[in-house]
Structure formats: structure tokens, C-alpha cells
């Protein structure tokens, strides 16, 4: 296994206390990076060896900027920004609530803008940087009962492409990762809610999920983290504007 060295670099990871974000933060930290985690689940500011954790609601422009500012104050730079925080809701398209619409768009889409606008001047001044947006195969396909989430992840891919175009001259590479079905607490909540709406059991939906994946299993967060680490590394120095699938073959476009 290739060991990626992020020594001397600082990575900001949103949603880094759970699920995919946690796996990404842990892998980058093991690779030597200073890691700053912004997560609404954090209780208070916590600092340890090469790691800072801050309670952050990324839907707040002010808090997003404060997170980037804390990274610079503590470690001196922001070299890698991983926009991993995401939320979802389950409902039919004719029953989607205003509150769910607002929260999903705020967290899944607008937060990328808030965090990026704070990090870009720092990266631009150094003529180097990586921004990695965690999208979803839902940004390429449609899925029943997930209209708001699907719409938000399509928006993430569009925003990623525009950012890549605008920032290429500054050597800031912007890519998206599109996970498939990943075993997280959020996924099991979706299975429970989907099961109720569809008259099934969560276990039956899990079996349905597995049946759609060519590799015969759903993903673990570490499967996604490895691709993020690749995109953050020198191995991906000629990649920008891409939407990389990590779906076990479930999505191929």
C-alpha cells in the first residue's frame, strides 16, 4: 500500500466526527497532516497533537469563516479543504417540507461556498491548494424518496466544475467524490425511514442495496477516504473538475 505523506500540510474536514468525514480526517491525520475538524456534533473546542476540533454549523457563513480562520491561527495555513458534511431527508416529491429543503441546501450546497470563499484567498496567495467536495452517486442519478438530497448533490457537482474552471490558473485543484451506498448512521436512518414509507424492513432495503452493487457489498467509510487522500496527494496533480465514483460499480458514468 502506498503511504501518502501530508506532513506540513493542514487539512480542514467538515463533518469529521462521524461517518465518511471521520474516516477522511483519520486517514489524513495518519498521513501526517494537521487536521481541523468542524462538526456540529462537537461539544467544544478540543486540541490534541496535530488536530483541532471545533463545534461548527457549516450552514452559517460566519461559523464557516471562523473554522478556516481557526485553522490558520493554529497551524498557519489551509492546504486541503474537504467539504464532507451532509444531511438528507426522506419524502415523496409531493410531500417535501420547506424546512427540509432549506436545511439540505444550506448544509449540502451553500456551506461549500462559505468554506471555499474563506479558504480560496489563502490558497491563491500560495498558488496551491486542493478542494475536495463529497458529493454522491445521487449527483448523477435519481433515487426514490430523496428528491431534495438528489437535487443538492447535482448542485454540488455543478459547483465543483465551476470552481475548477475559475481556480485552475491559481493551481487550486477542485474535485468531487461520489460515494455509493456507504455504511454510516445516516444510511441506516434513511433505511428505517424508507422502510416505513415503502412498507418494507430496513434489513430488506439493506439486501436490496447490496444486490445493486457489482462488488456484492456496500462501502465502508474507509473506501471513500482512500480516494479523497489520493485526490489530496501529488498523485492527482493533473486532475481537476472531476466527479470520481466510489460505488463498487453501481454507477459507471
> What pLDDT is stored for residue 2 in this prediction?
58
> Of 31, 116, 35, 20, nearest to 70 (Cα)?
35
158 by DSSP, 3-state: which?
Answer: helix
Query: Does residue 192 lie in a domain region?
Result: no
Query: Does residue 194 lie in a domain region?
Result: no
Is-above-0.85 flag for pTM? Answer: yes
> What pLDDT is stored for residue 117 in this prediction?
98
Query: Does residue 250 lie in a domain region?
Result: no
> What pLDDT is stored for residue 163 in this prediction?
99
DSSP string, 85-126: ------B-TTS--HHHHHHHHIIIIIHHHHHHHHHHHHHHHH
Query: Does residue 3 lie in a domain region?
Result: no
Q: Which residues of the chain fall below pLDDT 70?
A: 1-3
Is-catalytic flag, 143? Answer: no
CATH number at residue 103: 3.40.50.720
Q: How many CB atoms lie within 10 A of CB 202?
A: 17
Q: One of 143, 149, 206, 238 is an active-site residue; which one?
A: 149
Give the Cα separation of 107 and 242 in Å (integer): 21
226 by DSSP, 3-state: which?
Answer: helix
> What pLDDT is stored for residue 44 in this prediction?
86
Q: Supply the range of the domain harboring residue 15.
A: 10-181+220-240
Query: Does residue 190 lie in a domain region?
Result: no
Q: State the total domains in the chain.
A: 1
Query: Does residue 164 lie in a domain region?
Result: yes
| Cβ-based neighbours of 106, under 8 Å, separated by 6 or more | 59
Query: Does residue 128 lie in a domain region?
Result: yes
Amino acid at each position: 500500500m502506498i503511504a501518502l505523506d501530508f506532513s506540513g500540510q493542514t487539512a480542514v474536514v467538515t463533518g469529521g466526527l462521524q461517518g465518511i468525514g471521520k474516516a477522511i480526517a483519520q486517514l489524513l491525520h495518519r498521513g501526517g497532516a494537521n487536521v481541523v475538524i468542524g462538526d456540529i456534533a462537537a461539544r467544544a473546542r478540543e486540541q490534541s497533537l496535530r488536530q483541532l476540533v471545533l463545534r461548527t454549523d457549516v450552514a452559517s457563513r460566519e461559523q464557516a469563516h471562523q473554522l478556516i480562520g481557526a485553522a490558520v491561527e493554529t497551524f498557519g495555513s489551509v492546504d486541503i479543504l474537504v467539504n464532507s458534511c451532509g444531511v438528507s431527508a426522506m419524502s415523496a416529491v409531493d410531500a417535501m417540507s420547506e424546512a427540509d429543503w432549506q436545511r439540505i441546501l444550506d448544509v449540502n450546497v451553500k456551506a461549500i461556498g462559505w468554506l471555499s470563499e474563506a479558504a480560496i484567498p489563502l490558497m491563491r496567495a500560495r498558488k496551491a491548494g486542493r478542494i475536495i467536495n463529497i458529493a454522491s452517486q445521487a449527483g448523477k442519478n435519481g433515487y426514490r424518496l430523496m428528491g431534495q438530497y438528489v437535487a443538492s448533490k447535482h448542485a454540488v457537482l455543478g459547483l465543483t466544475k465551476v470552481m475548477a474552471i475559475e481556480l485552475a490558473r491559481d493551481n487550486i485543484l477542485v474535485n468531487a467524490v461520489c460515494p455509493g451506498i456507504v455504511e454510516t448512521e445516516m444510511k441506516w436512518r434513511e433505511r428505517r425511514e424508507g422502510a416505513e414509507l415503502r412498507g418494507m424492513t430496513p434489513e430488506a432495503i439493506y439486501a436490496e442495496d447490496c444486490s445493486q452493487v457489482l462488488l456484492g457489498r456496500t462501502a465502508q467509510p474507509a473506501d471513500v477516504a482512500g480516494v479523497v487522500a489520493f485526490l489530496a496527494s501529488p498523485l492527482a496533480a493533473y486532475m481537476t473538475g472531476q466527479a470520481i465514483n466510489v460505488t463498487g460499480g453501481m454507477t459507471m458514468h
